Structure 1
Amino acid sequence: MADAALAKKRGGSPKARILLVEDEILIRLAMADDLRRAGFTVVEASNADEALSVLNTTPDIALVVTDIRMPGRIDGVELANWIRRHAPRIKVAIASANIESGMDRAFDAVFSKPVLTADLIARVRKLLPRTEQSG
């Protein structure tokens, strides 16, 4: 079922999208599937370069969940900094096996990998205003 149809079926708005940025395909597919089953609309990117393209063409991204270490011109921290400068209304969550001290203050959420599904869903729901939730 398409993300928008699933969100509508679950009684939410498909307008707010989550951009999931993760280079490890199996991790990205699992996290995206978990978010979709919870009723969220998810756009996937395999690196920060792809994410920038999505952010420049998709106006309704409400939250970016990104890995830190990825191939490409920039990493997840640089992507988060770009978002803070160019799209400050978008919330940013970092998901990484390499969490550094102070990251919890620099981002809207920090997930240590492996990310537990229940924690991911609960914290994403807290990050998105009720009107933006689709689950």
Structure 2
Amino acid sequence: MAKVSRRPVVLVVEDEPLLRMNAVDMIQAAGYEVLEAGSADEAITILEKRTDVRLIFTDIQIPGSMDGLKLARAVHGRWPPIKIVTTSGRVSVGPSDLPDGGKFVPKPYTSAQISRLLQEMLM
């Protein structure tokens, strides 16, 4: 039986441990339950086991069989209700690079930016 949270669940996909910890802290402080993955493959495994993930927050440059943009498209194709936020400090992404409704936040981002964006997308 998959665990279901009362708070919206956000999956953070980030291969850099310190950046992942920082993102997790910001998202938890905004009132969400957070799951963590260090690669796209790990994220897919989590999504296959959980039915309550509402949003993925993924870095674009991640290791594994796909980068964050490919992950975003894969998640949108397989789990269309899941919202998608991508981030990067190295590349810029336009709306045409993302699945419908996907958002891009450049690094470095602030707690206020993330909190506002998640609230806008999940409420």
Taking structure 1 as the reference length, what is the TM-score of the superposition?
0.80
- Letter paired with 2:77: R
Structure 2: gaps spanning 5 or more residues: none
- Rounded to whole Å, the distance in 2 between the matches of 1:104 and 1:39 is 30
- Rounded to whole Å, the distance in 1 between the matches of 2:26 and 2:94 is 27
What's the counterpart of residue 61 of structure 1? 53
Deviation at 1:76, TM superposition (A): 0.6
Number of aligned pairs? 117
Deviation at 1:104, TM superposition (A): 6.8
What's the counterpart of residue 24 of structure 2? 32
- Letter paired with 1:77: L
Q: Percent identity over the alignment? A: 32
Q: Which has the larger radius of gyration?
A: 1
Structure 1: gaps spanning 5 or more residues: 5-12, 130-135
Give runs of aligned pairs for residues 1-135 of structure 1, distance below 5 A: 13-14=6-7, 16-103=8-95, 106-107=98-99, 108-129=102-123
Taking structure 2 as the reference length, what is the TM-score of the superposition?
0.87
Deviation at 1:101, TM superposition (A): 4.6
Deviation at 1:105, TM superposition (A): 6.6
- Rounded to whole Å, the distance in 2 between the matches of 1:40 and 1:95 is 18
